[in-house]
Amino acid sequence: MSNHTFILNGEKVSVEVEDNVRLLWVLRDVLGVTGPKYGCGIRVCRACTSHINGKAFNPCAVSVGDIKATDEITTIEGLADTVKKDLHPVQEAWLKHDVAQCGYCQPGQIMGAVALIKEHKKSGKPITDDDLDQIRNICRCGTYWRVREAIRDAADHM
Amino acid sequence: MPDPTTPAIPPEEAPGTSRRRFVAYVLAAPALAIAVRSGLINPFGDTAAAAEIARDGASSQSGVLAAGGSGPAIATTPQVFDYYDLSDLLTDSCRPTNNLLTLDVGHDGVVRFLLPRAEVGQGITTSVAMIIAEELDVPLHRVQVTLRDADPALLYNQLTGGSNTIHSLWEPLRAMAASARGRLSGAAAQQWGVSPSSVTTKDGAVYGPVGQVLDYGQLSAAAASSTTREVSYTLKEASQYKVIGTRVTRVDAVDAVTGKKQFAMDVKVPNAKPCMVAHGPHIRATPKSLNNQAEILKMPGVTHVGLIATGVAVRAATFGQCIDAVRAMQVSWNPGTVDTINNTEVARVLRSVELPMPSPAPGVETFEATFRFNFRSGSPLETNAAVADVRKDSAEIWSSLKNPIIAKQRIAEFLGMSADAVTVHCTTGGGSFGRHLFHDAAQEAAAASKLFGVPVRLMWHRTEDSRHGRVHPASVSRARAGFAEGSVVSWDMRHTSVATDYTHGLGEMYSGALTSQHYPGFPLSGNLTVAQGIYTLSAGMPYNVGQLTNFLNEHYDYDTFNTSSVRNVYSPDTATVRELMIDEVAKRMGLDPLEFRRKFLKSPRMLKVLNAVAERGKWGKKMAPGTAQGIAIHNEYKAVVVCLMEIDARPHTVNRKLKGGGYTGPRVTRVTIGADSGPIINPSGFEAMLMGGAMDGIAQALTAGLHYDQGLPLEGSWDDYHYTRQWNAPFVVDAFTVPSEETVPGGAGELGCGVSQAAAACAYSRAVGRMATEFPINFHKPLDFKVKTRTPPYPPSPNNGLKYVR
């Protein structure tokens, strides 16, 4: 066991856990942050998608030992705070389009969508169908169409 | 003063209006609590509807819709399904215990209902709250719907399946809410000393004739009764609805998008540490021994390890450490049930037990085909999961369960406790697709907690959820159409399937035990009897096709493969067969697929939905070579649904490459799906169900199948089991509700699936110019993935995730 420090949703946290435990389990099982979901554990389903220093990543595939003390980890729980609001514009769009069905994949979908929109805002390129096709988050309820609609809508409000 | 709009119904007022009045109960309680009566209100289903079908069938026989110089439609005799279907059966099975449902109006003005059904994403907590809000005139946010703990007294009234929740709860929910409104109004009128007919209700309050206002919370005590007694109530007319029929974002949406929504693994139970089970190298293999127990116990984080009936359970500080422990285990296994069986063998065996068909009549031209459907995974995104805390004399379980009563009873039996000693809490599920009809994870969690003597939070690894989880059974389906002089004169279908496991019965132990029964000299008989009953009650034939025979046979015992009813039972496959055959017969009769359907459909209700979808989806528009439209219809769950798909099967689309890999193939580019399912509670939720069903249908027709090899599916995650992904999803999905003349809501959850599988199959067949006969259509292509490890049973956890930050 060793000590690991990083910034989680704006606050410094320290945990005692083995280096090779994947960050997803540190978040969920050690810190009790359960927004990021387990869906495959091999970076395929993207249900655990969160942000590291503002960019999307999958904590199921990162050992906690590889996280630096200065790394800022944002999970769905901390997303709204990044814009200092009750809800992030992408979450608002998700509500407007009534995207969620069972909701299990939604934290990952939203965190992925935020990163995608940010990337396009930065490059100035519009989000095309091809870009939406690249989204790898699985929704087993099949709400893909509303995900597409909500992302296009949110992009106009970010 | 607010504008009160709904006249209150005084409870003691004598019947004098033209509206029907009913009777419920106010329960002896300090706050208002309402229950409905039990009993068989409508034991024979909606016979009026069936009579209408029979009549409509006869009327279309007159040939008013005749086209293309073909002969008349020859009426098909109504089937059992047309008079009494699975929806009727499930709803009637709830009636004897509907009196055990209660609606409470608290002193805080919050309306509470314990829902004896599973919320797994179908949106029933929203629809149920809307029905209550409507009849009670209370704001939606003041209605609290909570999933009810397993309650054996409810008998068959805690089963979630058959898209039947709203159909079965429509009457009791409205009865309770309307009775509560009447009691609250009467209590207010009494306090004000005014006539009950002079008060009105709105937004959770009663309004008096001169501006008096009392909130429901303030009236709850006065409206309550010290004895349980009958009260009469009057229901609103549909024309008065202000909540039902409006688009509502689901009640748990904010929790879902903020990460607050709780699933089984998010429930905080003290000391319930992560636990996983290593399952065998073949399905249903049982463990013989763990050969390195001491070594596993020494691994970081591990607290307990040991054998349970289905595998080797390990408990650790984190799930990651459970995964590491399972990967390090050296286990000896007993054989499984199908260690040497593969897909081809299954199909051969099924064909050999197919029920015979009658010989075609002389002078009748026939078209016959045999179709094959492969196993499909029912894996939701949340894997099998349950929390269990088994103590010396009692136990507590948390899991998403569609049959919680039988879970409670069977776990109690296993633990050697009375059912009363086992509390089973129902958590919201991250999808189900038939998985949660069974309590596989809860059973294992109970076993592990008992063995270890500590609480556990048990979750399946995705790879095992894919390989050992319950699947839609494979089937072979043979169909023959006979036609003469431009009319279809006969239709024969023989569906032969691997057994679907129905041993959950009607949700409790006795019907479950009867289903599991092997009667002497007749193996399979209990389950097969139920299977044939369900087939009969769900196999509609929307067309007039003359003489009809349609039978099911099943093979392999129910516990040979891990099967379940996966988002519809037989309908996706039988609808696909029927609609493909219809297209083929239409072609032979020189009719366009839409024209044929218009001519041969049984009822104006079906025709209306067909025309609405055809018009909205622009049937018949010019399509480029290699692309095509396909249209299909299905009637089930008291509903009619039509799906029109456009598919692109041109080589540059089929072979498109995706950055980062992924299975592509033909792409459905546009979906138009519309349904008449009676009065729709929440169109937004209903359309979501149609859309989701369409994505399942696309997957099952085009991309998603399980390859069994030496007793285990090769697919072990979402990168090899090709459920629809964003890059397979249509660019446009137009789901909509067709106005209905029905008065009772039909189904939603499963409704869109079968018709979409059929539409995708029809569109694909038309695009490539030949009828597809095996599904998914890519099943015999070389595997496009590297097969994951069989031993150890879980793949390694990657740790290169920082390379892919974007």
Dump the DSSP string for B563-625.
B---SSSSHHHHHHHHHHHHHHHHHHTT--HHHHHHHHBS-HHHHHHHHHHHHHTTTT----T
Q: What span, in angstroms and rounded, lies between the C-alpha atoms of B295 and B308?
A: 19
- Out of A57, A134, A142, name the one closest to residue B804 (CB): A57
Position B12 scores a pLDDT of 43
pLDDT tens for chain A, residues 1 to 158: 899 999 999 999 999 999 999 999 999 999 999 999 999 999 999 999 999 999 999 999 999 999 999 999 999 999 999 999 999 999 999 999 999 999 999 999 999 999 999 999 999 999 999 999 999 999 999 999 999 999 999 999 88
Note the pLDDT of residue B4: 42
H/E stretch holding B171 reads helix B165-192
Share of chain A above pLDDT 90, in %: 98
**pLDDT at residue number B2:** 40
- Label residue B622 by pLDDT band (50, 70, 90): very high
**ipTM strictly over 0.95?**
yes
Please give the pLDDT value at position B52. Answer: 45
| C-alpha distance from residue B154 to each of B87, B388, B405 (Å) | 18, 23, 8
Q: Which residues of B touch A95 (CB under 8 A)?
A: 249, 253-254, 257
Quote the crossing angle between the two packed helices B751-768 and B571-588, to the nearest 10°: 40
Tell me the average pLDDT across B79-107: 95
Reduce the DSSP state of residue B530 to 3 states and report it. helix
Q: What is the mean pLDDT of residues B3-8?
A: 43
Measured between CB atoms, which of B256, B318, B733 is closest to A106?
Answer: B256
Minimal C-alpha gap between A104 and chain B (Å): 5
Check the CA dihedral B581-B582-B585-B586 and report its sign: negative
Q: If you average pLDDT over residues B489-512, what whole number do you get?
A: 96
**Minimum distance, in Å, between the CA of residue B550 and any CA atom of chain A:** 31
Element (H, E) at B687: helix B683-698
Find the range with the poorest average confidence among A84-88, B15-19, B541-545: B15-19
Q: Cβ separation of B120 and A102 shorter than 8 Å?
A: yes
pTM of the model: 0.95
Q: Model confidence at B50, in pLDDT bands (50, 70, 90)?
A: very low
Tens digits of per-residue pLDDT, B290-322? Answer: 999 999 999 999 999 999 999 999 999 999 999
Domain boundaries, chain A: 2-76, 81-156
- CATH of region A2-76: 3.10.20.30
Distance CA B299, CA B276 (A): 15
Strands B774-775 and B365-373: parallel
Q: Most A CBs within 10 Å: which of B299, B381, B466, as the mutation test of the A interface? A: B381
Confidence of residue B63 (pLDDT cuts 50, 70, 90): very low
| Residue A26 to residue B247, Cβ atoms within 8 A | no
Q: Which residues of B touch A138 (CB under 8 A)?
A: 381, 718, 723, 725
B146-189 tens-digit pLDDT: 999 999 999 999 999 999 999 999 999 999 999 999 999 999 99
Phi, psi of B545 (to 5 degrees): -130, 30
**pLDDT at site B20:** 60
Interface contact flag, B249 A34, Cβ < 8 Å:
no
Mean pLDDT, residues B756-782 taken together: 98
Taking an 8 Å cut-off on Cβ atoms, the answer to whether B691 and A143 are in contact is yes
Taking residue B553's Cβ as centre, other Cβ atoms within 10 Å add up to 18
**Calpha distance B158→B406 (Å, rounded):** 10
The pLDDT of residue B228 is 93
CB B231 within 8 Å of CB B224:
no
The pLDDT assigned to B10 comes to 43
Cross-chain Cβ contact B381/A36 below 8 Å: no
Distance CA A109, CA A138 (A): 8
User: What's the confidence (pLDDT) of residue B45?
Assistant: 43
Distances (CA, A) of A21 to A145, B302, B667, B788: 35, 13, 40, 22
| B353/A105 Cα distance (integer angstroms) | 42
Contact partners, residue B450, CB within 8 Å, separation at least 6: B390, B395, B415
What is the structure's pLDDT at B630? 98
The pLDDT value given to residue B22: 80
- What pLDDT is attached to residue B518? 80
Strand order in the sheet with B487-498: B547-555, B487-498, B475-484, B365-373, B774-775
Quick one: which H or E segment has residue A4?
Answer: strand A2-8
Does domain A81-156 fall under CATH 1.10.150.120? My reply is yes
pLDDT, tens only, B684-718: 999 999 999 999 999 999 999 999 999 999 999 99
Q: How far apart are CA B461 and CA B456, in angstroms?
A: 15
d(CA B190, CA B517) in angstroms, rounded, equals 58
Q: What percent of chain B has pLDDT over 90?
A: 88
* B708-709 and B712-713 beta bridge pairing: antiparallel
Nearest-CB residue to B798 (from A17, A61, A134): A61
Nearest-CA distance B223 → chain A (Å) = 37
pLDDT of residue B647: 98
**Cα separation values, B733 from A142, B29, B247, B350, B674, Å:** 11, 50, 18, 36, 11
**Amino acid at position A101, single letter:** Q
User: Taking CB atoms and an 8 Å limit, are B802 and A38 in contact across chains?
Assistant: no
Peptide bond into B730 cis (omega under 30): no
Band (B732; pLDDT cuts 50, 70, 90): very high
Percent of chain B scored above 70 by pLDDT? 93
Neighbouring CB atoms inside 10 A of A102's CB total 29
* Nearest CB partner across the interface for B797, out of A32, A42, A141: A42
- For residue B261, the chain A residues in CB contact (below 8 A) are 103
| Band of pLDDT at residue B39, cut at 50, 70 and 90 | low
Q: What are phi and psi of B634, to 5 degrees?
A: -150, 145
Question: Is cis: bond before B792, omega within 30 of 0?
Answer: yes
A42-46, B56-60, B306-310, B559-563: range with lowest mean pLDDT: B56-60
pLDDT one-digit tens code per residue, B188-238? 999 999 999 999 999 999 999 999 999 999 999 999 999 999 999 999 999
- Tell me the H-state helices in B640-682: 651-654
Nearest beta carbon to residue A44 from set B719, B733, B794: B719
A132: which chain B residues are within 8 Å (Cβ-Cβ)? 726
Q: Please give the mean pLDDT across all residues of chain B.
A: 93
pLDDT of res. B70 = 62
Identify which of B274, B662, B688 has the shortest CB distance to residue A98.
Answer: B688
The size of the A-B interface in CB pairs under 8 A is 242
Given a cut of 70, whether residue B58 has pLDDT beyond it is no
- A62 and B801 in contact by Cβ < 8 A? yes
Helix crossing, B571-588 with B593-600: angle to 10°?
A: 110
Instruction: Choose the mutation target among B726, B753, B787, B802 for the interface with A, i.e. most A CBs under 10 Å.
Output: B726
